[in-house]
Amino acid sequence: MDFPVPLTRGRLVRRYKRFMADVILDDGETVVTAHCANSGSMKTLLVPDAPVWLSAADDPKRKLKWTWEIIQIGSAFVGVNTGTPNKVVREAIQAGVIPELRGYSRIRSEVPYAGRSRIDILLEDDDRPPCYVEIKNVTMKEGDAPSGAVAFPDAVTARGAKHLEDLAAMVAQGCRSVILYFVQRTDGDRVCLDGQIDPAYVTAFREASAAGVEVVCVGCDVDPARGVSVNRMLPFEAP
């Protein structure tokens, strides 16, 4: 996924009210308020004075012109916009770079299923059962070493546990279901679940896995100049 406009660089001042962040631009004087499209805690990412990159919107109806896209933690670039993963994964599936999700002739996004839920991606083909793919953005990593585990979730997520239940329900109906952990950062060599932050999510995961829900983990190249793209498959450490 290429960014539609060049990103603007600055440094993080603070994140507050969940969806807002103050950033001082590289001129050293201008402070702007950016939309933070991330409902998680962003644990391990909120480092004051860390380099960040913002995208600018030209929609006059928008309350905030800027959107926070990337932060640099040590030598790693981390994508913080949770609207990015679905776009990047769709592109990756269409390009055939995720082996586990190849071979489907049709792809749809945000399709209603399991009552009031919407699946991130639905893959369909005339010769095989449909595949329901739920995508989770993963950014939490302790330390700035180039290796180590990246963990999900970074906050309690009852909604995430419900998604696992919905995926298991589709398996019971004869469909295929996949939980895809999207590591939107350039470091980290594996994915795990953080049971200390949300033990209920881990319980829901174990039940979904036992029911036949599959796990796929992908890592990304996050580049302020080039955009975000899937560049590697990652192992998963089951809880």
DSSP class of residue 185 equals B
Spatial distance between the Cα atoms of 148 and 93, rounded to a whole number of angstroms:
26
Query: Which pLDDT value is given to residue 59?
Result: 79
User: Which of 63-67, 172-176, 198-202, 230-234 is predicted with the least confidence, judged by mean pLDDT?
Assistant: 63-67
Could you read off the pLDDT of 31-80 as tens digits, one per residue?
Answer: 999 999 999 999 999 999 999 999 998 877 888 999 999 999 999 999 99
Tokens linked to 60: 């006059």
Residues of the chain with CATH 3.40.1350.60: 84-237
- Which pLDDT does position 239 carry in this prediction? 84
CA atoms of 153 and 74, how far apart (whole Å) = 21
> For the segment 6-42, what is each residue's pLDDT rounded down to a tens digit?
999 999 999 999 899 999 999 988 999 999 999 999 9
Q: Which two tokens stand for residue 231?
A: 């560049």
Does the domain formed by 84-237 have CATH 2.50.20.10?
A: no
* Burial annotation 91-106 (CB, 10 A radius, 16+ → b, else e): bbbeeebbebbeebee
Q: What value does the mean pLDDT take over residues 97-124?
A: 95
Give the other-Cβ count within 10 Å of 185's Cβ: 25
Locate CATH 2.40.50.580 in the chain: 8-79
Contact of 222 with 77, CB cutoff 8 Å: yes
Residue 107 in this model has a pLDDT that exceeds 90: yes
- pLDDT the model gives residue 129: 97
Average pLDDT over residues 157-162: 96
Stretch 176-191: mean pLDDT, rounded? 96
Alpha-carbon gap, residue 85 to 99, rounded angstroms: 17
Architecture of the CATH domain 8-79: Beta Barrel (2.40)
Q: What is the pLDDT of residue 202?
A: 97
Which of 102, 109, 107 is CA-nearest to residue 124? 107
Strand pairing category for 31-35 and 20-25: antiparallel
pTM: 0.94
Q: Tell me how many degrees the CA angle 16-33-40 measures, rounded to the nearest 5.
A: 35
pLDDT of 144 above 90: no
Q: Which helix (H) or strand (E) holds 14?
A: strand 8-16
pLDDT (average), residues 212-217? 98
Contact residues for 114 (Cβ-Cβ < 8 A; gap 6+): 166, 169, 170
What does the pLDDT read at residue 115?
Answer: 81
pLDDT-derived band at 104, boundaries 50, 70, 90: very high
